[in-house]
Every structure is written in C-alpha cells, then in structure tokens.
Amino acid sequence: MRYLIRGRRTGPGLVAAAVAVATVAACSNGSSGAGAGTSAPPAATSSATSSAPATTTAPAPKPSPTRTYPLSTAPRTIPAVLEHRPARGPGWSPGPDAGIVIAPGSAELADEARLLAGELKVAYRGEAAAGPGDVELALGGSGAPESYILTTTGGRVRITGPDEAGVFYGTRTVKQAVRSAGVVPEGVILDRPAKPQRGLMVDIARKHFTAGWIEDRIRELADLKLNQIGLHFSDDQGFRIESDTHPEVVSQQHLTKAEVRRIIALARSLHITVVPEIDSPGHLGAVLRAHPDLRLLNVQGTPRQGAIDISKPESARLVDELLREYAGLFPGAWFHVGADEYQALTVRDPAASYPQLASAAARRYGPSATVRDLAEGWLNDRAAVVRGAGKTAKAWNDGFFRGGTVDADRRIEVEYWTGKEIGARPPAEYLAEGRKVVNLNDEYLYYVLGEPNQFTYPTGRRIYEEWTPRVLRGSTAVPARYDAQILGGTFAVWCDLSGAQTQAQVAAGIRLPLAATSQKLWDARTPTASWQRFRALADELRG
C-alpha cells in the first residue's frame, strides 16, 4: 500500500521523485524547442519539420498520470473490526501536521482525545474544526451502545458514536491500526460488540496483587475493548481492601481505599467498570477468623472451612455492613455476592449435620423448607442489600437451586462457571427459567494458579478456535435461541496455590487467552484469521 507523504521530503526519496516527474514531463510534452529538454532533430531527417510553416502551434501538453491506490483492506486489530467498507486512497497516518480534535458539542470526549494524541504523539487541539491530517471525535448517531463509525477519507479520520465508550473504542482501532501497519486504511468501519459484558476477574483475596499491577491490566483490557474487571477480594485466605466498619477482618497485605479509588478512576476513564465481590455464605474464612462465634458448627461442634452460620442474625448483620460499605466505595452498576460452595450443602444430610440451619429454615419458610431454602433466602437477602444501594447482584451458578420452597430472585445475574459439582444444573435450565447468564466456563476461562483439582492453564488457541459465549459448560453450545440471555463472558484468574506464579508470570500467562476472549466476545463468529496470524498480531501490538 502507498502512503500519503506529508511535509518536506529530502534525500534519496526527493531525488527519485524529481526524476520521475522529469521523465513524465519529457514524455508528455510535444514541444521541440530548446526548453523541451532534448536537441532539435537534423533537418535532413524530418521533412515534415523542415517544411512546416513557422507559425505552427505545438500540441497541448498531456496531463501527468494521477496516483492510483488499490482497494483498502480492514485494519489489523484485536478484536477485529466487524465491518470494513473499502475505498481507494492513501489512508491516514500520524504525520507532523496531524492532530486530534473534538467536534463542536462533543466536549465530553476531551479525555479520549487527549489520550489518543499522547499515544500517537500528535497535537491535541481541543474543540475545533478538523483540518488536513486530523482525527476528529464526535458524539452522535443512533447506533447500538458502544458502537462507532470510523471514516477515513481525504487524509482525515472521523470517529462518531452514540456514546463515549463507542468513540473510545474507535480510538483503540486507530491506535492498533497505526501500530500494526503505520496507517489507518481508507474507507468506512462500522463496529460494535456482540456482548455487553466483556471482562477479566482477578482473585486478589488468595494472592495480593498490587494496585500498579491491577492498573496495568486495566490498560490492557481497554485496548482489547473489554469493559469489566472483577475483584474477588474476600475469601478464606484473605480480605484485601481496607475497611472502616470492620478493620479487624482486613489482611496485613491489602489495598488501601485510596488505591482502590485510583484504580476506579483509571478504569472509569477507560470505560471499564470495577465489579467488587464479597463471597458468602461460604468463602468467609478471613472474616470469620476475627468473628469465630459466627462460624458454622456441625452437630459434633466442628467448624466447616469458610462457612458462616446463616441461622444467626448476627451473621447477616456483619455481612450486610460490609456490603453496604463497599457498595459506597465502588460506583459501578454491579456487586457480586458469591453464593457458591456453601459447605453445609456438601454433606449427605444437611439437616442432620446442621440442625440449627434446618430449624431456622422451618421457622422462616415453613415446615417443608430445607437448608437449601435457607441458603437461597440468604442469597436473596444479600442481593436485596446491594440492590438497595443501586447495584445489580451477580452470583455463582451453584448458589441457584431447583425445586425448593424458595426461588432465587430472577433479577440476579447468573455467573455460570461449573457443571462438575454434585447436583450441578446444566446451563440450559437457568436460561429456560428466563435468567440472564454470564459465561465463565471453567473449561476455557479459568486460569487457576498451580493447576489443582485437574485444572490446566487455558490457552488462547482453544478459546480462539473452540469457545463462544454460548459454550457455557464443557465444549457444547446451548441453543441459539438463548443467545440474547447470555450477557457476555469473563476470563477468571484464581489463586488457589498463590505461590505458584508471580504477578509478572500471571500477566504473561493470561495475555493471549485474554486477547482471544476479547475477540470472541466482540464477534462470536468463526474468525477469518488463523490462530498463527492472530498470535503474531497480538505480539506486534504489545507495547
């Protein structure tokens, strides 16, 4: 592809250009005078010349040939753009006169414009008319959320979208196109994500990750057009965010609230929502070390790992105080309340092993209610707490039960991760009930440090070639009629054996799987590029 060269040219390129121009001029000019660049032919060799009248007019010069371009091809980006309408032209590259401008009435895009200007090392001109060589950002149109239209013509680029996120994703396309090929190709790009929720979840409870590491992942997610990062910050091994209401539960290594606010501010500037998770009624070991009186004891008086006694009003009070505190810290639309792997439900006869739970279930929900009903009621109550703070609740799929007295609230989003546990329900059951589901298929999307319990580190290739958002369990997709209920997917990092990898090793290990996940959440269709080409592009775009 040819490039539009801006600015003064010097050196060999200028000489070559001058020679080419001179050659074209010589070939197209019919004059035989001294200024024609050739000697006049001898009279004896051209009778036509010698006999022509002296007043004969020389033929008009023929126009020099204009530069032509092949039809453009789509830019090389991750994720790939959904549609590119090719055109002929040089495209756009960040030359010395280039700048980033904001269209009148789109002042909200100042942060996006400044970021792109810094990344491309060109001028930021603010709200101004677009000139030659500029990239213009504009809000407008009636497209889908997070969509954008990118038009490259006449040496300029214009990105429009109905919301700031869409325009931002257009700037990511410009950034990657320049990095991969040096130019944004001529033509029109129409782009939008297939799924509204596209993210990464990190278990910062079992392993402490620094604020800087999390911020680096947020920047990585933004370039991949992913829009969520979940922080699982409470588990048996640790409670990793500073608390004002219950400082006694916080682990020595933790994030301060100032660091969390900094993380949130960066994420919001890059159109990423930070989703907090406090898992209960299981996985509360760190909290219960400070409140041993709330541990769940079986009939022999033996505590179960991480389980809180949900028959005690004090248990709900403690967890709800934490939920309300962190709902105030995290401004996003979601709060994950856990609900998985409650150890009281893993024994053969929960009522016999935990008679206090069975009694509490009967008192609250009637004589036919079971310990499962009490656990389902706990989930509903915690969801109601975060809903009261303006959040949508998320919960793990193994906290939703069938056939009981109590049904899980249909407004809770199901995060489906496993079908391997005893009594696990297949994903189609949740969908048939009309529930909304997010895909965290542990077959493809679980990166478990140390690879315990038959887990293996997922590969980008398997995700890229086999997985789609409809593949919720194992490797089989649910029927297409459920597609609209599947809100998206999340790649999850779990730190079961926290010392198995360093922070740097985790970042390196998830790089390609994250890139592949972003591709399939943006466009679930079979990719046109081979895995080898995709991987090579991912390496090119690193920086």
Residue segments in the chain with a per-residue pLDDT below the cut of 50: 1-56
Burial label for 22, CB within 10 Å (0-12, 13-18, 19+), is: exposed
Q: Find all residues with CB under 8 Å of 364, minimum gap 6, and list them.
A: 374, 377
Q: Which helix (H) or strand (E) holds 151?
A: strand 148-153
In 3D, which of 334, 416, 404, 323 has the Cα closest to residue 369?
A: 404
Dihedrals phi, psi of 115, to nearest 5 degrees:
-60, -50
For 352-365, the DSSP string reads HH-HHHHHHHHHHH
pTM over 0.85: yes
Residues forming beta bridges with residue 476, ordered by sequence position: 473
Instruction: Decide: 230 and 275 in contact? Cβ < 8 Å.
Output: yes
pLDDT value of position 39:
34
pLDDT value of position 418:
86
d(CA 214, CA 274): 11
Structure-token pair, residue 120:
């491309």
3-state helix, strand, coil in the chain (%, to 5): 40, 20, 45
pLDDT value of position 68:
86
pLDDT value of position 67:
73
Rounded to a whole number, what is the distance in angstroms from the first to the last CA of the chain?
A: 24
pLDDT value of position 65:
55
pLDDT value of position 284:
98
Query: H helices within 309-441, ranges in order?
Result: 313-329, 350-353, 355-365, 371-388, 427-432
